[in-house]
Amino acid sequence: MSTKNNLGEGGELMKVFIVADMEGTTGLERLEEIFRGLPGFDTFRQMMAGDANAVVQGAIEGGATEIVVSDSHGYMCNIYPDDLVPGVRLYRGQLRREWCQMKGFDEGYDAVIMIGFHAKSGTNDAILAHTWITGFRDVRINGHSVPEPSLNGYLAGAFGVPVVMLSGDDRVIEEARPVLGDIHYAQVKQSVGFFKGIHLPIDRSRQLLRETAKKAVQDAAKIPPIKCELPVTVEIDLSPDVVDDPALGCRLDDNLKYQELSLSKLATKNYSDVDIVLLTHPDVISTKRGTVSFTCKSYKEAYRKIYSILGVIYERDIENLIDDVSNPQEYSRPDLQNIIGDDYPLNEIGPRRKKSAA
């Protein structure tokens, strides 16, 4: 693939914001592939960048003149800057990240593309399904359970910017469609279990991503921004008890280990996630066991508060996944040979080379 592009080279300006998650990346299906230090990560952080590059190339062909990619998975430092198409700006890391998965976003963009996404929490037969973190058992906007793309789509709409494309597995497309509507979708895999999928080969997946992005950018002016009904009420189901689902939720003593609260009673009681949220967010209430809720006049305010609530259990959730749920000693993906092949570049812009898929 040629890396030549026309970003910033005259003509009518077209700014595109790409939100890149990881679980919906081409070929990805295992926990051991999504966190630094685990055996599949190096391959799939390059695959993530390669999917982004295919979308970037398509967006350029569709008329984009300026493109930002927001690395929006885990600790949000997965894509290496040198692995992206030259001329693309990369936002990564958690520092100064006001908008969670949409770091640096504002009303100055013409279109949003979301790639690499997955199904929402509670979708048990979908690859690595969750909503931002495993501690969020469900997130409801005005009573409707939604996946991550819908949360981001409402934020884009609050800035007056349309979402024009979503990629990932079949289940996230199904779940996001009621909010995102008639936009462009690229299904790169079919979920058949929490750690199992049926995947497009890399060449077909990248072609689909590139062609879909081109059409999406070309149609951006025809797609309206998504509007959330206001005021907006948000409900989040959390881990209600310290013994509830210890691997994915609130492991014994974890909230003591990860919190930095100057509350002396924390030294004598292990607080649940609900307890911690209520202690740190006095304007949030608990409407029923295991659920916290709040109402905001604007969706921007609501999104910011969801992100703030995420922050009090975020690090603990990720570390528990790495420490308790991942199984690096038994990780194996012999099927990657059929998905990647021998000579397709993982990051799309690199030279074709032999790549072990073991």
pLDDT, position 287 = 83
From the list 43, 101, 330, the residue with the least C-alpha distance to 35 is 43
Which residues of the chain register pLDDT less than 70? 1-11, 240-270, 350-358
Inter-residue contact 49 to 80 (CB < 8 Å): yes
Domain regions of the chain by residue span: 15-133+147-227+329-340, 232-325
Rounded-to-10 torsion of CA 64, 68, 71, 76? 180
From the list 174, 170, 165, 173, the residue with the least C-alpha distance to 192 is 170
**What Å distances lie between residue 181 and 81, 99, 230, CA to CA?**
32, 22, 19
pLDDT, position 2 = 38
pLDDT, position 285 = 97
From the list 333, 278, 323, the residue with the least C-alpha distance to 134 is 323
CA 322, 323, 325, 327 dihedral sign is positive
Two structure tokens written together for 357: 């898929």
- Dist. CA 294–CA 235, nearest whole Å: 7
pLDDT, position 260 = 62
Pick one of 3.40.50.10780, 3.40.50.2300, 3.30.70.260, 1.10.287.3510 as the CATH number of 15-133+147-227+329-340.
3.40.50.10780
pLDDT, position 114 = 98
Please state the length of the chain. 358
